[in-house]
Amino acid sequence: METFDWKNLPFGYVKTDHNLRCFYKDGKWGELIVSESEYIDRHIAATGLHYGQEAFEGLKAYMGKDGKIRLFRWEENAKRLVSSAKGILMAEFPVEKFKEAVFRVVQLNKRFIPPYGSGATLYIRPLLYGSGAEVGVKPASEYVFIVFVTPVGPYFKGGVKPVNMMISRDYDRAAPKGTGIYKVGGNYAASLRAGIEAKEKGYSSSIFLDAREKKYIDECGPANFFGIKNNTYITPRSESILNSITNMSLIDVAQSLGIKAERRQVPLEELSEFTEAGACGTAAVISPIGKIFDPDTNRVYEYCKDGNPGPVTMKLYNKLTAIQYGDEPDEFGWISIVD
Ligand SMILES: Cc1ncc(COP(=O)(O)O)c(C=O)c1O
């Protein structure tokens, strides 16, 4: 095992030993190729560079107390990458090949998997882009799939802490019937200005409203939103948000704990009715929201008045992370062991 200061590792890029690549040419995918290089050679007219034919995924490998390496719902990431590829007309990377690539890249970089208890994990980043040369706006005929890993530090150093967020009305991340439901690079480029503005104003993230009416909650930066009221977990249904695997899982976990779950439109005014709120995604599992500021009305919605995450949030967080690390039985069949 590599000796890093695991607890203080940032959520950033660290070079590891190997990555994998796979090339699509003449209508078919080739074999997975192991590489030690951090660089790729690209055609100057690749559609991934010009027209945003690019999609990616993010998942993690967790080291258990028992020394076993666990992957969480990798198949959902594989299926989402297929959906993203379909959404922007790229060659689909087959689910079984995705499995082989992800398991192999973890095996090849075992020494970078952070130890149990450090809170750090091995982040896995698969990506797919159009590599074929085109100048007209059309899909490429050649594609590249890459998967690399990087150890990332605990999202919250020193325990789960509430964060403050700001409503963004000046920018939209995605539009209904656009690409918000796909994990494509363009959505993230479109979200950067709102995210930076929120940070400059002292907030950890921006909250996007639905682009059409600005009436409903869409997403919290690169994470889904949820609110809690009356023992119910409520999360937005929207045509322009990414279907978070963490969110899907929290809905099942909530129901297994006797908490009701609803996926429906969440009007902005409902923020005042929630007793707890949070953002969920692979990176943090849950970021409890302390306050939400609405710059249009100067309203502040406050959830964690004592500075601590709420009880339902913590119940959900503890249960899901216990499954991911193998501390509790995998009652949902979400875990795969990497030998
Ligand atoms: C825009 C967006 N929403 C939500 C999520 C959370 O999704 P997941 O739980 O699958 O990581 C992510 C991260 O992947 C994201 O980028």
**CB of residue 58 inside a 6 A radius of ligand 1:** yes
* pLDDT tens profile 132-154: 999 999 999 999 999 999 999 88
**CB of residue 281 inside a 6 A radius of ligand 1:** yes
**190 has a pLDDT exceeding 90:** yes
Residue 1's pLDDT band (boundaries 50, 70, 90)?
low
Residue type, 78: A
Residue 23 to residues 42, 91, 108, 127, 332: CA-CA distances in angstroms? 12, 10, 20, 12, 34
Ligand 1 center from residue 136 Cα (angstroms): 31
**CB of residue 76 inside a 6 A radius of ligand 1:** no
**282 has a pLDDT exceeding 80:** yes
* pLDDT tens profile 65-116: 999 999 999 999 999 999 999 999 999 999 999 999 999 999 999 999 999 9
As a whole number, the mean pLDDT across the chain is 96
Q: What is the pLDDT of residue 11?
A: 85
- Tokens 């809170």 locate to 119
CA gap 190, 212 in Å, rounded? 16
Q: Would you give the end-to-end CA distance of the chain in angstroms?
A: 16
91 and 127 Cβ atoms separated by less than 8 Å: no
**29 has a pLDDT exceeding 90:** yes
CA gap 76, 82 in Å, rounded? 10
* pLDDT tens profile 30-74: 999 999 999 999 999 999 999 999 999 999 999 999 999 999 999
**CB of residue 19 inside a 6 A radius of ligand 1:** no
Ligand 1 center from residue 173 Cα (angstroms): 13
Residue 2's pLDDT band (boundaries 50, 70, 90)?
low
Q: Whose CA is nearest to atom 4 of ligand 1?
A: 223
* pLDDT tens profile 294-319: 999 999 999 988 999 999 999 999 99
Ligand 1 center from residue 281 Cα (angstroms): 5
Q: What is the pLDDT of residue 155?
A: 80
Whole-prediction pTM value? Answer: 0.97
Q: What is the pLDDT of residue 128?
A: 98
Query: Which neighbouring-strand residues pair with 63?
Result: 69
**156 has a pLDDT exceeding 90:** no
CA angle 159, 266, 250 (to 5 degrees): 40
- Return the active site residues: 183
Residue 62 to residues 68, 154, 207, 218, 282: CA-CA distances in angstroms? 8, 12, 29, 29, 12
